[in-house]
């Protein structure tokens, strides 16, 4: 049944202009007489379609406007642009670790898009400088996806936000948007 739903969605996206939200997908499925088990199915189908072909995606997800669309169609309809990205890990008692790859990926994307990037803090957790396969020593944890083919992951330790600091790859990132 999933393949049939994806075929209906793929054909509709290719033939109809405009943006696609989960609301639109639910209407499409209802109009075509397709039953879906629960509401999250529409979002999952959109995501599956968007990530189905990494070389030439049928659809993309616009995180700023929280919508899906066909590349080249809805992008021209909006003038929204990210003016500044501020990144920082969580601090406090219930803080969750931030994988270093997330911060460096955002930094690289901002550099490519000419968007100012500000790295505020690591938060409660900081990288120890070790890459680990398997278990870690007491008081540390592994975060993020493996960084190589062997499965090494970055080890983080809870050290407090003051000790963790705000250096990313050996330097601070303090870019601000230009004044209008």
Whether 52 maps to a domain, the answer reads yes
User: Would you state the pLDDT for residue 60?
Assistant: 57
Whether 150 maps to a domain, the answer reads yes
Whether 172 maps to a domain, the answer reads no
User: Would you state the pLDDT for residue 120?
Assistant: 94
Whether 176 maps to a domain, the answer reads no
Domain count, the chain: 2
Starting from the edge strand earliest in sequence, which strands make up the sheet with 19-20, in order?
19-20, 67-69, 60-62
Residue pLDDT tens, the chain, 180 long: 567 777 777 777 666 655 666 667 777 777 777 766 565 666 666 666 655 544 444 555 555 455 556 555 544 444 456 788 899 999 888 888 888 888 988 888 888 888 899 999 999 999 988 888 877 778 788 887 787 888 888 899 999 999 999 999 889 999 998 877
User: Would you state the pLDDT for residue 7?
Assistant: 76
Whether 173 maps to a domain, the answer reads no
User: Would you state the pLDDT for residue 163?
Assistant: 93
Considering the domain architecture, whether residues 59 and 118 belong to the same structural domain is answered as no
Considering the domain architecture, whether residues 160 and 89 belong to the same structural domain is answered as yes
**What one-character-per-residue DSSP string does 117-166 give?**
EEEEE--SEEEEEEEESS---TTEEEESS-SSTT--EEEEEE--HHHH-S
Considering the domain architecture, whether residues 98 and 30 belong to the same structural domain is answered as no
Alpha-carbon Rg for the chain, nearest whole angstrom, is: 21
Whether 171 maps to a domain, the answer reads no
Q: Does the reported pTM lie above 0.85?
A: no
What is the span of the domain harbouring residue 67?
2-77
Considering the domain architecture, whether residues 108 and 63 belong to the same structural domain is answered as no
Whether 12 maps to a domain, the answer reads yes
Q: What is the CATH number of the domain that holds 38?
A: 1.10.10
Whether 116 maps to a domain, the answer reads yes
């Amino acid at each position: 049944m999933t393949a049939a739903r994806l075929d209906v969605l793929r054909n509709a996206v290719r033939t109809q202009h405009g943006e696609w939200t989960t609301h639109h997908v639910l209407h499409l499925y209802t109009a075509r007489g397709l039953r879906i088990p629960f509401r999250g199915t529409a979002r999952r189908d959109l995501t599956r379609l968007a990530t189905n072909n990494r070389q030439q995606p049928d659809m993309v997800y616009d995180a700023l406007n929280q919508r899906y669309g066909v590349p080249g169609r809805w992008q021209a309809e909006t003038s929204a642009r990210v003016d500044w990205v501020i990144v920082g890990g969580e601090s406090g008692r219930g803080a969750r670790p931030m994988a270093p790859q997330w911060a460096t990926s955002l930094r690289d994307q901002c550099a490519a898009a000419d968007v100012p990037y500000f790295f505020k803090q690591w938060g409660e957790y900081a990288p120890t400088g070790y890459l680990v396969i398997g278990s870690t020593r007491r008081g540390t944890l592994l975060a993020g996806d493996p960084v190589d083919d062997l499965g090494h992951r970055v080890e983080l330790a809870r050290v407090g936000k003051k000790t963790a600091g705000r250096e990313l790859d050996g330097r601070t990132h303090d870019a601000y948007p230009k004044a209008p």
